[in-house]
Chain A
Amino acid sequence: MQNIISKGKNLKEAINIGLNLMDVSKKEVDIEVIQQEKNGFIGIGRKEAIVKISLNQKSSTSKSDEAKVMNHVTHTSEEIVEILPIDKDGEHSTDVEGLSDERNSSFFQSGDSQLEGKAWVNNNKIYVKDSPFHYPTVQIDKGVKLYKNGMEVQEKSTVISQNDQLDIKLDESSEKETSWQVSLVENGLKAILKVDPGFIVNHRIKDVDPDKHIDLVIEESREVHNSLEYEDVLKKLQDFRVIYGIQHNEIVQAINAVEPGEFVVAKGRSAHPGNHGWLDLKVDVNSMNGLVEDESGNVDFRETKFIPNVEKGQVIGIIYPPKPGIPGVTVTNEPLPAKQTYPLKIASGRGVIEVGDKLVATESGRPFIEQRGHLVKATILEKLIHEGDVNLSSGNIRFIGDVEIIGQVEENMTVDAGGDIFVHKSVSEADLTSSKAMVVKGNVINSELNAGKNNLLIAELGHLLGIMNKQLDKMIVFIQQLSQSPAFKSNDFSITGLQPLIMILLEKRFQNFIPYAKQYQEVVEKGENHLEEKEWVQIAVSLKQIFINLSTQVTTIDQLRNLSQKMKELSELSETPVEPDSYMAVAQAVNSRLYCSGDINVIGKGCLNTKIHSGGQLKVSGMVRGGEIYGKLGVSINEVGSNSGTKTIVSVPSDQKIHITQAFEGTLLRIGNKTHLINDKKNHLKAYLNQENELKLESL
């Protein structure tokens, strides 16, 4: 290369770049300034410095002579300035000297002309080939360190040249050790080995083909190295005293694992659950479930007439004792007890006796079996058929069995049945209560209907007891805590009992307790006739004595504990569902209140301004206009609200859905504690809460 035109920010840079590229010293060249640099004003009008550098003939012919001269003048910068008068900055000749690099220049000579001005990466090394017109640039990615002439490049990208001494440094290859852990889970039924195999991470620079701009990118390769040994696992299992059910093939899989995983390295035998005592019924006990629509939507009122019957002396059912479960074994060879099984508790009522393991009817009538948890109630219900209407001349009807009324129930009359109630005609301004099912074929006007009263009561009382029980437990803990305070004297407990303390506690700390206790009293007093288990009433008496009347009777902490225990049992009992639950079916209802612990079915035209509470599913085949309806297990209605925008409230708990075929404005949907008011007519509506607890409407 005889001459070169070089550009730079200033003359010095232009010359340096030129010399660099030609791989010669200043001594060996003639330099001609083509254009002086101009800085301009804040960058406007800036011009680069341009120089033409040509090899002077003498130096190219006798390079060795020149070298001598060069050595001679090496350290006198002034002379260089003289030789190169354009170099105003006083360039050090040592810099010029350092530019000659045998490796790079030989590569340059042997290089392909296509590579000019390009850089490439091969086997973790970076190569550059210069061109007079272009400098390759390189982008440095995270984790890569590029050293140019011994200095780390701080910028993200830089210009490189063949004459630079380029070194790449990478993050050290890192190693992660295998981690593993043995744990016993499910009460010792299983031993789990968690393995996270170790690995070595190697870094290298990705090879790059020659290009004007290249990226230095790290390539990471992982080499899995699972160092877990069979003996390690066995030893750990020994430490845990695992001796039963060791799974050797799982251990082998674990030590060969390349991915993190869990292995069941020992398995015990789980306990086999037994059966609770149960009753095998030998007779049909369920009456038909009310008025049911057939496929074409018709209702056959005759179908409800089917009522099961038993004769005197007939065996109703056989009681089977509980079957205990088989205990299991843990991996440490300890027995794993099976869940305890309970025998049935039979409460045989009227007309039923227990003979050995059999339940036998002593009277004819409808067998009635109700089961709640382990408690089974069996009675034979008689049936009262009332021919004609219930009015002042017939008097109120109260009967422990089923009641069938052929006529209607008139104003201000009461019908109270221990079994089912079946009314053939209408009910107006009356009060009907049944412990079981209720069917009214006619209209229900201005009346109050309760079906499954017993269950409703128990649900309500159970709820109250649950709340009070929690508070009482806290109170007991609190009294114990207080007794341990250094400045507290508990010797008056023996004289006055806990009364003075309870009085203070009810004042503030447990101030919510009294309202609940009073509410409980009221509910019990109202429904006393329907409560078959007397424990509910006993608790009411205790609550009254201890908390409400604050009698002078001495109360001890043991009494509180007993009370709490009883409350807990009853509260749990109230949560177990009864079987069979009651149901209610009416044709249509106006200005009435319908309560049922089970399903409610309104079959006729629907209901107007009626309050409905169903402990099961609520289904209305007609319309609902005004009032408030609730279905604990969901609501489905054909038509709700009206064109005039009558306010109608439809509610279900948070986990249930509302289905409406046609909804008019003024309908308020309430799901859990979220509400939605319907403003315009909607068809085929489905409302529910989604997982984010938002009320969702789906309209088809």
Chain B
Amino acid sequence: MLKYTTVEKNDFLLVSLEGDLDIEGTEVVNEELIPELVHYHSINISLEKVPFVDSSGMGLLISLVNTLKEQNVKITISDVQDDVFEVFELIQLPEILGEEVFI
């Protein structure tokens, strides 16, 4: 089950996701995470503790980034595990979200 923790520094919010980013995380992301994040100007999401993803999970990530971008929130994603990043690259996620999102 997906969990997350946040650390706030001024306007900057560091979000650490923990667990598999999959279909079971739909509620967590859509109903808790997104409403909370829209209040910040700058956000980094760390995927350090995300070992697996599925297609629904990637769909969530896309909708999360796109929603925040619409709200003019600066968002970056960091610490993606190698295997997970391989999946991201296969489906060209960096091109979809913008190369600058991944740091």
Quick check: B23 and A492 within 8 Å, CB to CB? yes
Question: A481-522 vs B: 1/0 string, CB under 8 Å?
Answer: 110011111111101101011011101110000000000000
A504 contact from B23, B59, B84, Cβ within 8 A: B59
Within 8 A of A (CB), among B60-97: 62, 81, 83-84, 86-87, 90-93, 95-96
Q: B100 to nearest A CB, angstroms?
A: 16
Once the chains are docked, how many angstroms separate the CA of A493 from the CA of B59?
A: 13
Q: Which residue of A lies closest to B92 (CB)?
A: A508
Question: Does residue B51 face the partner (Cβ distance < 8 Å to A)?
Answer: yes
Once the chains are docked, how many angstroms separate the CA of A500 from the CA of B23?
A: 10
Question: Does residue B56 face the partner (Cβ distance < 8 Å to A)?
Answer: yes
Q: Which residue of A lies closest to B58 (CB)?
A: A504
List of A residues within 8 angstroms of B56 by Cβ: 492, 496, 500
Quick check: A487 and B51 within 8 Å, CB to CB? yes
Q: A633 to nearest B CB, angstroms?
A: 42
Known: A485-B83, A487-B81. A504 touches B91 (CB 8 A): yes
Quick check: B55 and A500 within 8 Å, CB to CB? yes
Once the chains are docked, how many angstroms separate the CA of A676 from the CA of B83?
A: 55
Question: Does residue B99 face the partner (Cβ distance < 8 Å to A)?
Answer: no
Quick check: A491 and B54 within 8 Å, CB to CB? yes
B54 contact from A481, A486, A488, A505, Cβ within 8 A: A488
Quick check: A500 and B81 within 8 Å, CB to CB? no
Once the chains are docked, how many angstroms separate the CA of A488 from the CA of B83?
A: 8
List of A residues within 8 angstroms of B58 by Cβ: 500, 504
List of B residues within 8 angstroms of A495 by Cβ: 23
Question: Does residue B52 face the partner (Cβ distance < 8 Å to A)?
Answer: yes
Within 8 A of B (CB), among A339-360: none
Quick check: A500 and B59 within 8 Å, CB to CB? yes
List of A residues within 8 angstroms of B81 by Cβ: 487
Quick check: A509 and B53 within 8 Å, CB to CB? no
Quick check: A507 and B23 within 8 Å, CB to CB? no
Q: Which residue of B lies closest to A501 (CB)?
A: B55
Q: B85 to nearest A CB, angstroms?
A: 8
Quick check: B54 and A492 within 8 Å, CB to CB? yes
List of B residues within 8 angstroms of A509 by Cβ: 91-92
Q: A33 to nearest B CB, angstroms?
A: 93
Q: A507 to nearest B CB, angstroms?
A: 5
Quick check: B90 and A482 within 8 Å, CB to CB? yes
Once the chains are docked, how many angstroms separate the CA of A507 from the CA of B59?
A: 11
Quick check: B59 and A481 within 8 Å, CB to CB? no
Once the chains are docked, how many angstroms separate the CA of A501 from the CA of B60?
A: 11
List of B residues within 8 angstroms of A493 by Cβ: 55
Question: Does residue B20 face the partner (Cβ distance < 8 Å to A)?
Answer: yes
List of B residues within 8 angstroms of A501 by Cβ: 55, 91
Q: A444 to nearest B CB, angstroms?
A: 51
Within 8 A of A (CB), among B17-68: 20, 22-23, 51-59, 62
Q: A412 to nearest B CB, angstroms?
A: 49
Once the chains are docked, how many angstroms separate the CA of A507 from the CA of B65?
A: 14
Within 8 A of B (CB), among A603-636: none
Once the chains are docked, how many angstroms separate the CA of A485 from the CA of B53?
A: 10
Which of B54, B92, B93 is the most central at the interface, judged by chain A CB atoms within 10 Å of its CB? B54
Quick check: B91 and A482 within 8 Å, CB to CB? yes
Q: A6 to nearest B CB, angstroms?
A: 89
Within 8 A of B (CB), among A27-80: none
Q: Which residue of A lies closest to B50 (CB)?
A: A487
List of A residues within 8 angstroms of B57 by Cβ: 489, 492
Q: B22 to nearest A CB, angstroms?
A: 5
Q: B17 to nearest A CB, angstroms?
A: 14
List of A residues within 8 angstroms of B92 by Cβ: 508-509
Quick check: B53 and A488 within 8 Å, CB to CB? yes
Once the chains are docked, how many angstroms separate the CA of A485 from the CA of B58?
A: 14
Which of A485, A489, A496, A507 is the most central at the interface, judged by chain B CB atoms within 10 Å of its CB? A489
Q: Which residue of A lies closest to B54 (CB)?
A: A489
Quick check: A487 and B90 within 8 Å, CB to CB? no
List of B residues within 8 angstroms of A486 by Cβ: 83, 86
Q: Which residue of B lies closest to A491 (CB)?
A: B54
List of B residues within 8 angstroms of A482 by Cβ: 87, 90-91
Quick check: A504 and B83 within 8 Å, CB to CB? no
Once the chains are docked, how many angstroms separate the CA of A122 from the CA of B98?
A: 84
Quick check: A508 and B91 within 8 Å, CB to CB? yes
Once the chains are docked, how many angstroms separate the CA of A495 from the CA of B55?
A: 12
Within 8 A of B (CB), among A398-429: none
Once the chains are docked, how many angstroms separate the CA of A498 from the CA of B54?
A: 11
Q: B40 to nearest A CB, angstroms?
A: 26
Q: Which residue of B lies closest to A492 (CB)?
A: B23
Q: B18 to nearest A CB, angstroms?
A: 15
Once the chains are docked, how many angstroms separate the CA of A578 from the CA of B54?
A: 48
Chain B residues with a Cβ under 8 A of chain A: 20, 22-23, 51-59, 62, 81, 83-84, 86-87, 90-93, 95-96
Q: What are 21 A-B residue pairs whose CB atoms fall within 8 Å in the complex?
A: A478-B90, A485-B90, A486-B83, A486-B86, A488-B53, A488-B87, A489-B53, A489-B57, A490-B55, A491-B54, A492-B23, A493-B55, A495-B23, A496-B23, A504-B55, A504-B62, A504-B91, A505-B91, A507-B96, A508-B96, A509-B91
Extra contacts besides A487-B52, A491-B54 (13): CB < 8 Å: A485-B90, A486-B83, A487-B51, A488-B54, A489-B54, A491-B22, A492-B56, A498-B55, A500-B23, A500-B56, A504-B96, A507-B62, A507-B96
Closest 4 A/B residue pairs (Cβ): A487-B83, A501-B55, A489-B54, A492-B23
